[in-house]
Amino acid sequence: MQCATAHKLLSLRIDGELDDRRAPDLAAHLRDCPSCQAFARELERCAAALDAVSVSEPSADFGARVMASLPPQQSTSERWTLVRGLLRPLPMAAAVVALALGITLASLMNGNTTTTPTAEAFESDVYAESFSALPEDSSGARYIALVTDGGN
Ligand SMILES: [Zn+2]
């Protein structure tokens, strides 16, 4: 048996996968080969070291300790206050859009296209009045600026 074959068989033996029929050949080689004897000892030493660092099961309270170490979460009410603040301008914007749509539909149903500019002017006035209190950088104010400037 060559040393390379003996190394492969030693590796199988350390994993408990060495075929019983090949074990006598390996034992015979090891008796006569100091190099493979040293390799076998080194392999067993490495396997023992790996066994020593095997992964252990987490303790029963591991999950609770991890959760306790996390920073406190924002409460649900704090999060909803933030969401409501972001959505506050939307109902008024929706009301204005519905009003504008109603005016446009009414003018279309009358079949009188000459009233459309007047309706648009009225829409602009409604927008300006409804959103005059909005902060300049709010989405509602930006929408109105877009709609009223686009009409010109
Ligand atoms: Zn050998």
Ligand 1 center–CA 52 separation, angstroms: 28
Spatial neighbors of 25 by CB under 8 A, at least 6 apart, are 1, 9
CA distance 130 to 149: 16
Handedness of CA 123, 129, 139, 87 (dihedral sign): negative
**Over the chain, what is the mean pLDDT?**
79
- pTM (two decimals): 0.37
Classify residue 103 as left (phi > 0), alpha (psi -120 to 50) or beta: alpha
Q: Measured in angstroms, how far is the CA atom of residue 55 from the centroid of ligand 1?
A: 33
Q: What is the pLDDT of residues 29-49, one digit of tens each?
A: 999 999 999 999 999 998 888
Give per-residue pLDDT as tens, 50-66.
Answer: 887 766 777 888 888 88
- Write the DSSP assignment of 75-101 as a string of letters: PHHHHHHHHHHHHTHHHHHHHHHHHHH
Distance 36 CA to ligand 1 centre (A): 4
pLDDT at 76 over 70: no
Kindly state the average pLDDT of the residues 75-94. 70
Long-range contacts of 30-33 (CB under 8 A, 24+ apart): 30/6, 33/3, 33/6
CA of 56 to the centre of ligand 1 (A): 36
Torsion sign across C-alpha atoms 142, 90, 97, 135: negative
